[in-house]
Amino acid sequence: MTTLLVTHPAGLDHLTPSGHPERPDRLRAIDQALEDERFQSLARELAPTTTDETIALCHPPDYIAEIRAASPASGLVRLDADTAMSPGTLEAVLRAIGGATMAADEVMAGRVENAFCAMRPPGHHAETARPMGFCFFNTAAIVARHVQKRHGVERVAIVDFDVHHGNGTQEIFWSDPTVMYCSTHEMPLYPGSGAPSERGAHNNIVNAPLRAGDGGDKFRIAFETVILPRAGAFRPDFLVISAGFDAHMRDPLANLNLVEADFAWATRKLMEIADASASGRIVSVLEGGYDLQGLARSAAAHVTALMHG
C-alpha cells in the first residue's frame, strides 16, 4: 500500500517576524529531504483549499470570521505574542486544513494506506475560539471531526508527540468521548497544560509529560506504559498523528533529547495500533520542529516508517 505526501507551495507564503522559529525554511528542509530517491514510491498531492463549513467542524463561525478579517493586505499583524499573520497566511492555513482532510478522504477511500501532510502553520495550540502558539485553526482536530461527520467513523485517536502540549486539541475534545487525545510533551514548558491529572470529561484525555533532559528511553517508556496501552484499548477506527519534531535533541525551543530513530519507532508503534482496529488508517499532520536538520531528518524517518512499517 501507498503512503501519500501532501504539500503546497502556499505553505511557504505564511511569513513570520524576522528570527521567528516557525519559518518557511522548515518546509523547504522537509521537501528537500523527501526528494531523495528512497521516497520515489510516495504518492504526492498538492493540498487543496478548504471551506468555512469544514473549519466549522471545530471552530465557531464568528471566530472563523475574526481570523479572516485579521488577514492583512501587507505587513504583519500579531494575534498574540508569538502568532502573526502575513498576507499569505490565510491561504497557507486553508490549504493546511484542505490538504489534511483530502488526505483523510484518500485514506478512507482506500486509495492510500496513510498520509503525511507537510504543511504549515501548525495547529495543535489553536483552541475552539483562540489562536495561540503559532496556530490559528486546529488541523488535527478538524481531521478527526471530518472523518466522523463525512465518513461515518466512530472513534478517532489523536496522538501528539510534539514537545509542546496540544492544549487546543485537548480543549476541543475535553467533553467528547468519541475522540481520545494522547500526548507526550516536555513539562514544565509552553503552554503549561498537560498534567496527567488532566483526563477529560470521559477519561478520554491521556497526558504523559516528560522532563527537560529526558531522551528516547524515557519517551519510549511513556509510550509503552501510557500512550500505547490507552490508545490501543480505545480501539480507534482512525488515527491522527500530531507530528511535531521539536522533541529532537537539536531543537532550540525545548530540552528533550529524541533522535530520528525515536520518531520512527513511535510511528511504527502507532501503525500497529492503527492496524489492529483501524485498517491501518493514519493521517499525520506536521506540527512543530524548529531545527532544520533535526526536523528534516526526523520527518524523513517518520515518513519512511509510514511507508514501510
CB of 190 vs Zn ion, minimal distance in Å: 8
CB of 134 vs Zn ion, minimal distance in Å: 8
Grid coordinates given for 70: 485579521
Decide whether 121 or 280 has the Cβ nearer to Zn ion: 121
Decide whether 168 or 280 has the Cβ nearer to Zn ion: 168
**Residue 13 in contact with residue 125, Cβ under 8 Å?**
no
**Which phi-psi region, left, alpha or beta, contains residue 194 (left: φ > 0; alpha: ψ -120 to 50)?**
left
For every residue of the chain, DSSP letters joined together read -PEEEEE-GGGGG----TT-SS-THHHHHHHHHTTSGGGTT-EEEEPP---HHHHTTTS-HHHHHHHHHH--SSS-EEEETTEEE-TTHHHHHHHHHHHHHHHHHHHHTTS-SEEEE--SS--TT-BTTB-BTTBSS-HHHHHHHHHHHHH----EEEEE-SSS--HHHHHHHTT-TTEEEEEEEESS-TT----TT---TTS-EEEEEE-TT-BHHHHHHHIIIIIHHHHHHT--SEEEEEE--TTBTT-TT---BB-HHHHHHHHHHHHHHHHHHSTT-EEEEE----SHHHHHHHHHHHHHHHHH-
Decide whether 99 or 194 has the Cβ nearer to Zn ion: 194
Decide whether 190 or 238 has the Cβ nearer to Zn ion: 190
Decide whether 135 or 273 has the Cβ nearer to Zn ion: 135
Is 125 labeled as catalytic in the residue annotation?
Answer: yes
Decide whether 148 or 169 has the Cβ nearer to Zn ion: 169
CB of 209 vs Zn ion, minimal distance in Å: 14
CB of 288 vs Zn ion, minimal distance in Å: 3
CB of 185 vs Zn ion, minimal distance in Å: 8
What residues are paired with 180 via a beta bridge? 157
Q: How far apart are the first and last CA of the chain?
A: 11
Decide whether 77 or 253 has the Cβ nearer to Zn ion: 253
CB of 193 vs Zn ion, minimal distance in Å: 13
Q: Which residues bind Zn ion (CB under 5 A)?
A: 162, 164, 244, 246, 288
21 preceded by cis ω (within 30°)?
no
Angle ∠(159,137,175) on CA atoms, nearest 5: 55
Q: Which of 59, 125, 146, 164 is catalytic?
A: 125
CB of 59 vs Zn ion, minimal distance in Å: 20
Q: Which residue is nearest to Zn ion (CB)?
A: 288
- Catalytic center residues: 125
